[in-house]
Amino acid sequence: MAMEVTQILLNAQSVDGAVRKHAEDNLKQFQEQNLPSFLLSLAGELANEEKPAESRKLAGLILKNALDAKEQHRKYEFVQRWLALDPSVKGQIKNCLIKTLSSPSHDARSTASQVIAKVAGIELPQKQWPELIGTLLSNIQQLPAHTKQATLETLGYICEEVSPEAVEQDNVNQILTAVVQGMNASEVNNDVRLAATRALYNALGFAQANFSNDMERDYIMRVVCEATLSPEVKIRQAAFECLVAISSTYYEKLAPYIHDIFNITAKAVKEDEEPVALQAIEFWSSICDEEIDILEEYGSDFTGDSEVPCYYFIKQALPVLVPLLLETLLKQEEDQDQDEGAWNIAMAGGTCLGLVARTVGDDIVPLVMPFIELNITKPDWRQREAATYAFGSILEGPSPEKLVPLVNVALNFMLSALMKDPSNHVKDTTAWTLGRMFEFLHGSMLETPIITPANCQQIVTVLLQSMKDVPNVAEKACGALYFLAQGYEDMGPSPSPLTPFFQDILQALYAVTRREDAGESRLRTAAYETLNEVVRCSTDDTSPMVMQLVPHIMMELHQTLEAHKLSTDEREKQNELQGLLCGCLQVIIQKLGSSEATKYVFLQYADQMMALFLRVFSCRSATAHEEAMLAIGALAYATGSGFEKYMSEFYRYLEMGLQNFEDYQVCAITVGVVGDLCRALEDKILPYCDAIMTQLLKDLSSNQLHRSVKPPIFSCFGDIALAIGENFEKYLVYAMPMLQSAAELSAHTSGADDDMTEYTNSLRNGILEAYSGIFQGFKGSPKTQLLMPYAPHILQFLDSLYMEKEMDDVVTKTAIGVLGDLADTLGSNAGPLIQQAISSKDFLNECLSSDDHMIKESAEWAKLAINRAISI
């Protein structure tokens, strides 16, 4: 048997597809027939020094994959399966794994490390395998260097896998001691020292207690800083990674060390190899992130009662930090603008400079301006580009009062550079800088406009001209135009300053989408995105021009649907284009369909558009489906009950969308579209409701569907009930128990993290919207008494939400509205129940005096409904 496993594992890596396939089938069969024996042979294979390295490594990987999966439901299944195994089998497997840590084969050790971490991830939270940490630590004390390295690596993986609560503080202390000792300069073996440094990176989350103790913290910090000076580049890089992690995890403990860290990072930025220098810059970027968060959360004047105080490290370091970063800007790579994935010291330095500007605001300006003035006209493109990049970087953060005068001076220079500079790099950065000017310093919120009737025409002319430049420059010019248009989106009813150029802008953007080379540098996408924004800011006087665009976009979409026999690559591009075109039509539908002035003319295209969207569904592309679905939702809203005629054809795609578990975004959007249909068709949606409800109920019961789709499904129940009224009767018996159990689950949030609390609130909102729709749907019907049995539970749910005190404003508003809906629909029958509920007193009173006018409005409505219900 054992020999056979080795051969199968080797065959599974064969270059011959047939052999490989056969071996994979064998493995699958083996696993299904006898899991314990299968896992045991894999562990044995991995531990056996006489076996080939290839079969050992694959055995370990298969073992690892049998313990963990990306999908939540499969992961849960694997965990349960492991826990249910016979303890003696598990014991043997674990022994094999520990033994492998001493193997001379690096691959075998490394694989065993990962598998041990997976097993620990399952068992430690269950308080099983208590001897693991002790065993590992005793390994470190005695054994040869390679075992020590593998053991440290294992400790690192365990810290990554397990949450800190699952490990006793004693064990944590021992792990940290072992790791920090391994990092120490006295450790002569570089592999051990590197493994220890990487292990610390993962173990930092466990070190809360140790970082609160001055002596222990001093020691850890000293060792980390020393490791940044190691002769080995990988160790220096790993040590800086530790510093970055410390800067975000223990920001409030950094004050005593910040001066030293500055010196270390400055030296690395100036002299060290790029991977190390990048981490050194990242340290300061990370400090900026922390300070921006703190300052945002507590307002700019720190009052002393915030959880984490701001230490203003950036402000203090400013006079030396800014020149350091400015120097990095001159180290550009050739052609970095054409390479999508590029990341180098100049880009990291500019990114950090932008974060510094956001952190300190006005103070950065005088430190950067001399650099700009010195370099902006130099013959070397690097200097001109660096100067422009520096200017663009500081446009977010400082006050408009500080920036507007500078921008007014710079604007003309930039416009002319965009036309005339011989360097593509400079033009790329110039267009980007113009975009940043418009993004942050242009719009109705600003008092002094940088764009005036005097320069508007010139700006538009230059940008449209620049859109004919090489793809990366044209793409940035599109971006600048995007923000230029966005600034006019909320202007008053007066004709937009863009009106005179509107036709030219639309034509130019449309021409860009059709450029041969529009596939490069994301140019086509940028052009469509800008087109969308320009459409959004169209006004009554320019909407006829948007109307003229419609047949062109429809024709483009039609052409993508006619193309056949494409290569995989071409098909992918075609699908992307379909997504962009559907997205563009969606924006146009939303714009022209929402104004009475354009709606009726526009809807003449509805039949043709709908036919195109339906054809998009026959192509296999999640993005295109999503965009088409959104467009159809907008169309349904615009057409209203007239949408009925498309339903028989559209329905099957709607159902397909509701069944699309893999691309859950498509599923979520389809659920939203069901809501649009309900509001458009009202009771005419009835013939489709059986099928829709069946599918929605299936979705809710599935553990494969991403959880984010569930709240909108509940809201959708409400939409359906509101549309079909008492006809919802037959679904009550299914929907109500689901709502009830979801309500019970969501009633409490204690101990949840922010993400979970946010999700719980969205779930509550969905449940409450369902109740609201159902009550209002039944209002005035003779069947309202069917809802009576559910009233006590619903009131209890509202009470428990109120007592929990963890709901956000949206939930509060919806909840108090449900109270009103219940009273409104059930009337005096529910009077006594309502009077017993706390919600009808304390909760209602709190909402009545709320500052949030939506909450207050709902509460006033609820009060009125309750008064009616209990006074009769």
Partner 1 sequence: MAPPDHRRPFKRPTISDQQRRRELSLLRQAQNRLDAQQRARCLASTVLSLEAPEPGPGPEPEPVLELELASESEYHVEEEEEGDSRSPSKEFDVRQASKLRGAEARKWFARQLMLPEWMIDVPDRLSQDWYVFARPSGKRCFVVSSNGITVSRLRNGSVLHRFPSALPGGARTRDVSGSAQSYSILDCIFHEIDQMYYVIDMVCWRGYSLYDCTAEFRFFWSNSKLNESGACDPPSQNHRYRFSLVPIYNCDENGLHAAYTGAVTYIKDGLLFYNKQAHYQTGNTPLALVWKDEKCSQYVIDTDSKGNVPRLQQVVLELQEDLKLITSDDPPVVFGCLDNDLVQKSGLCTGYLLKFAIGNGGLSFADGRLDRADLQYLGKSNRARAFADSYSKVIFQYAVRHSPLRIDDLLSAINSRDERENEHPDVEMID
**Contacts to partner 1 from residues 810-869, by CB under 8 A:** 817, 820-821, 824, 853, 856-857, 860-861, 864
Instruction: Say how far residue 813 (Cα) sits from the centre of its chain.
Output: 27
Interface with partner 1, residue 533, by CB under 8 A: yes
Interface with partner 1, residue 715, by CB under 8 A: yes
Q: Which of 112, 722, 736, 787 binds partner 1 (CB under 8 A)?
A: 722
Interface with partner 1, residue 341, by CB under 8 A: yes
Which tokens in the block code for residue 12?
């599974």
Interface with partner 1, residue 471, by CB under 8 A: no
Least distance to partner 1, CB of residue 827, Å = 14
552-571 binders of partner 1 (CB under 8 A)? none
Check: CB of residue 240 under 8 Å from CB of residue 280.
Answer: yes
Check: CB of residue 122 under 8 Å from CB of residue 82.
Answer: yes
Check: CB of residue 93 under 8 Å from CB of residue 40.
Answer: yes
Q: Which one, of 469, 532, 485, lies nearest residue 337 by Cα?
A: 469
595-634 binders of partner 1 (CB under 8 A)? 595-597, 599, 623, 626-627, 630, 633-634
Interface with partner 1, residue 759, by CB under 8 A: no
Interface with partner 1, residue 782, by CB under 8 A: no
State which residue, 361 or 777, has the beta carbon closest to partner 1. 777
Interface with partner 1, residue 718, by CB under 8 A: yes
**Nearest-angstrom CA–CA distance, 603 and 839:** 46
State which residue, 230 or 237, has the beta carbon closest to partner 1. 237
Q: Which of 112, 167, 264, 526 binds partner 1 (CB under 8 A)?
A: 526
Least distance to partner 1, CB of residue 117, Å = 21
Q: Which of 100, 228, 285, 332 binds partner 1 (CB under 8 A)?
A: 285
665-694 binders of partner 1 (CB under 8 A)? 665, 669, 672, 675-676, 679
Which tokens in the block code for residue 548?
């003229």
Which tokens in the block code for residue 635?
């169309």
Which tokens in the block code for residue 366?
């005088």
State which residue, 420 or 853, has the beta carbon closest to partner 1. 853
Centre a 10 Å sphere on the Cβ of residue 547 and count the other Cβ atoms it contains.
17
Least distance to partner 1, CB of residue 666, Å = 11
Least distance to partner 1, CB of residue 388, Å = 11
State which residue, 54 or 489, has the beta carbon closest to partner 1. 489
The 8-class DSSP code of residue 345 comes to: H
488-507 binders of partner 1 (CB under 8 A)? 489-493
Which DSSP string corresponds to 723-773? Answer: HHGGGGHHHHHHHHHHHHHHHHHHT--TT--HHHHHHHHHHHHHHHHHHHH
State which residue, 317 or 395, has the beta carbon closest to partner 1. 395
Interface with partner 1, residue 711, by CB under 8 A: no
Residue 311 DSSP SS3: coil
Interface with partner 1, residue 388, by CB under 8 A: no
State which residue, 167 or 612, has the beta carbon closest to partner 1. 612
Interface with partner 1, residue 76, by CB under 8 A: no
Interface with partner 1, residue 510, by CB under 8 A: no
State which residue, 38 or 717, has the beta carbon closest to partner 1. 717
Check: CB of residue 758 under 8 Å from CB of residue 811.
Answer: no
The 8-class DSSP code of residue 13 comes to: T
Which residues have CB under 8 Å from 507's CB, separation 6+?
none
Q: Which of 45, 187, 290, 475 binds partner 1 (CB under 8 A)?
A: 475
Max CA separation in the chain (angstroms): 88
Q: Which one, of 803, 839, 804, lies nearest residue 823 by Cα?
A: 839
**Nearest-angstrom CA–CA distance, 514 and 787:** 58
Interface with partner 1, residue 529, by CB under 8 A: yes
Interface with partner 1, residue 449, by CB under 8 A: no
**Nearest-angstrom CA–CA distance, 340 and 811:** 42
396-435 binders of partner 1 (CB under 8 A)? 429, 432
Least distance to partner 1, CB of residue 864, Å = 7
**Nearest-angstrom CA–CA distance, 402 and 552:** 45
Interface with partner 1, residue 487, by CB under 8 A: no
Which tokens in the block code for residue 815?
């909840």
State which residue, 564 or 853, has the beta carbon closest to partner 1. 853
State which residue, 149 or 525, has the beta carbon closest to partner 1. 525
Q: Which one, of 186, 163, 175, lies nearest residue 139 by Cα?
A: 175
State which residue, 8 or 807, has the beta carbon closest to partner 1. 807
Check: CB of residue 122 under 8 Å from CB of residue 165.
Answer: no
- What is the torsion angle, in degrees rounded to the nearest 10, for the CA atoms of residue 771, residue 777, residue 783 and residue 788? 20
Q: Which stretch binds partner 1 (CB under 8 A): 2-10, 500-508, 693-701, 716-724?
A: 716-724
Interface with partner 1, residue 466, by CB under 8 A: no
